[in-house]
Structure 1
Amino acid sequence: MLHSKAVTIAVALYLITTGFPAHSQSYPARPVRLIAPFAPGGGVDIVTRLVGQKLGEALGQQFVIDNRPGAGSNLGTGLAAAAQPDGHTLVVVSVAYAINRSLYKSLGYDPKDLTVIGLIASAPNLLVVHPSLPVSSPGALVDLAKRTPGSLNYASAGAGTPTHLAAELFNSMSGAALVHIPYRGGGPAIIDLISGQVKVMFPGIIAAIAHVNNGRLKPLGVTSLKPSRVAPGVPTIAASGFPGFEAENWYALLAPAKTSRAIVNMLNVELNKITSAPEVQERLARGGAEPLSGTPTEARMYVLHEMKKWAKVVAASGATVK
């Protein structure tokens, strides 16, 4: 992950070496369409509105939020890929962008038609179990699963969702062989987990933390490489015997691939300023998210790494969507 403090020098050097050609100074010339490829109210929508508001304030033009849900975010992402590469159509994507490349037989667009401007934030999932399960750590869960093969199931928000693939990554790294029970959405899955119909889940941390705090769910580990401020005292899975385990829902800003380097650089600089602002960091923290920053090149490399990682998990899970 590319955190604000860690990249300050890198960003400064990047700007010195790239600079801003004169034609970028007239951008944006009109309101910018900022696509959120999910329905209003979710994490992507919230992050998109926050970024759009701050970019509008910084650049003196309105950033109009355009919610275009459908096909697991492929519909809205495809609209951005097909847009004119003049910087006036952008899209905020999540980890689903990396997962979908392997999950869907046809995306409806070519990922090569998009370029990554920068990372915005990331939020971990939380490995939780029903309180009746006699385990208190990820390792103990794996031991129990191996002693009673096929007896432990886990809920997900649906096949191919981050809650599903986080569990499959855990299966592949631990050998736990937890059995998948897909639901139509995270809400029904958590309800059945609380009632004991299923025993394990990897929900988003904000969806789970209230139930953890009132004792309805037992936390075993967070899926980020660093502990989460939202779940103090809960160790990372990586530090609990599974080094390198990481499954986070990240957000990134993308543009059509042929957008000028000057505009991409300008937006990257403004995005880094936004995620470094204390007010924005506090708003992200309330949603369980950590701010990210870095150069466009660093962001692209991170997204490519995520695509490769999740391709292996999707293949191992057998999940596919036509």
Structure 2
Amino acid sequence: MMRFKRLVLAFSALAISNPLWAAWPDDKPVEVVVGFAPGGGTDLMARKLFSFVQKRLGGKAQFVVVNKPGASGELGNAYVAKAQPDGYTLGIVNVPTLLYLPMVRKTQYQVEDFQLVARVVDDPTVLITRSETRIDNLPTVLGIAKQTPGVISVGHNGDGSNGELVLQLLRSTTGVELTGVPYKGTGPQKIDVIGGHLPLGTVSAGEVPELQKGGTGTVKAVVQFTSKRSAALPNVPTAMEAGINVLMSSERGVAAPKGVSSDIVKRLESAIAAVLKDPEFLTAAAADAPVIAFLPGAQWSKSLEQNQKALKQMAANRK
């Protein structure tokens, strides 16, 4: 009996010394912050992923996706970076934007403010346009822009987004200037492309199949900026096939404020890894399934070192 009482006291002491860990995530909803407008690739991925993470963690776990668009995702990133590191505020972060913005301007966050939890996808960047346009490939885009400067406008998600960086790389590689138009997310971009108000948009490969609707949609993909054709878009040519060496993708994953409990990080990481193998999730998130590229947080952080080198060079060459 005495031994049992000691065990009870020991467990009680552990709970008192780690009250947040003991309660998480059952005592209140967890905010999942998306720094872009609803309807884009980041937003859609977050909503699908965390509905399954919630089931995986069980109990009273509840995850609520909150959109905080603006400043190329900086507003959302800053909100997460400044939150209490208690596991109740998470963010969906996008690379290259997360890394690049602090290189070119004073931002409200630094990369070191985050604890990376897991990479979810590595999604190639794609140019899209309305199906009936005469633009069918990247050389046509560049030819029109060269002959009639300013006539080709391309949407992107703001400074440092994968779309904006693609325009930089195309300019430095081909000498052709495309007119960039900043948006608060690919959701609004897609609406304007479909409505005929924007000639070209930059989205991620995982967003395109839904827009094409099996060939019956009003949008078509022009080119994807990857070394080989993505499984998501096997019929869409790459820039490299046209002899233009421009590569760009959007790595999206989950991050928490620096200082969050390692136990919480491990639980989230394990839950995300399990969800990404779940056949039910892969069916529900069919567009994302071909671009899933899970990495644990520590490995993702290590892999970004090479990205930082390339981005620093781009930042140094920025106009």
Instruction: Show CA shifts across 1:43-64 (max 9, x none).
Output: 3232222232222222234233
Aligned match for 1:227, one of 220, 226, 229? 229
Instruction: Show CA shifts across 1:68-113 (max 9, x none).
Output: 414332223222222232323221222332343335x332123211
Structure 2 CA distance for aligned equivalents of residues 143 and 62 of structure 1: 50
Establish whether residue 114 from structure 1 lines up as the match of residue 114 from structure 2: yes
Q: Return the offset for 1:167.
A: 2.3
Structure 2 CA distance for aligned equivalents of residues 181 and 233 of structure 1: 26
Structure 2 CA distance for aligned equivalents of residues 146 and 41 of structure 1: 29
Aligned length: 288
Establish whether residue 262 from structure 1 lines up as the match of residue 263 from structure 2: yes
Partner in structure 1 of residue 30 of structure 2: 33
Q: After superposition, where does 1:65-80 map in structure 2 within 5 Å?
A: 65-72=64-71, 73-80=73-80
Q: Return the offset for 1:213.
A: 3.5
Structure 2 CA distance for aligned equivalents of residues 297 and 238 of structure 1: 31
The worse-fitting range, judged by mean Cα deviation, of 183-192 and 32-41 is 183-192
Structure 2 CA distance for aligned equivalents of residues 57 and 218 of structure 1: 35
**Larger Rg, first or second structure (1 or 2):** 2
Given that residues 31 and 64 in structure 1 are in contact (C-alpha distance below 8 angstroms), is that contact kept between their aligned partners in structure 2? no
Aligned match for 2:53, one of 55, 65, 68? 55
Q: Return the offset for 1:275.
A: 1.3
Given that residues 31 and 90 in structure 2 are in contact (C-alpha distance below 8 angstroms), is that contact kept between their aligned partners in structure 1? yes
Aligned match for 1:42, one of 40, 43, 54? 40
Q: Return the offset for 1:114.
A: 0.8
- Which blocks of at least 5 consecutive residues in structure 2 are unaligned? 1-17
TM-aligned CA distance change 1:67 to 1:39, over 3 Å:
farther
SS in 1 for 2:80: helix
Letter in 1 for 2:54: G
Q: Return the offset for 1:230.
A: 3.9
Structure 2 CA distance for aligned equivalents of residues 153 and 143 of structure 1: 9
Partner in structure 2 of residue 15 of structure 1: none
Given that residues 154 and 181 in structure 1 are in contact (C-alpha distance below 8 angstroms), is that contact kept between their aligned partners in structure 2? yes
SS in 2 for 1:116: strand
Structure 2 CA distance for aligned equivalents of residues 80 and 217 of structure 1: 34
Partner in structure 2 of residue 175 of structure 1: 174
Q: Return the offset for 1:191.
A: 5.4
SS in 2 for 1:269: helix
Given that residues 115 and 256 in structure 2 are in contact (C-alpha distance below 8 angstroms), is that contact kept between their aligned partners in structure 1? yes
Instruction: Show CA shifts across 1:25-50 (max 9, x none).
Output: 84625335233233443332322222
Structure 2 CA distance for aligned equivalents of residues 44 and 129 of structure 1: 20
SS in 2 for 1:35: strand
Partner in structure 2 of residue 127 of structure 1: 127
Identity in percent: 18
TM-aligned CA distance change 1:46 to 1:145, over 3 Å:
closer
Instruction: Show CA shifts across 1:132-168 (max 9, x none).
Output: 35xx654x45884797595773422364243222222
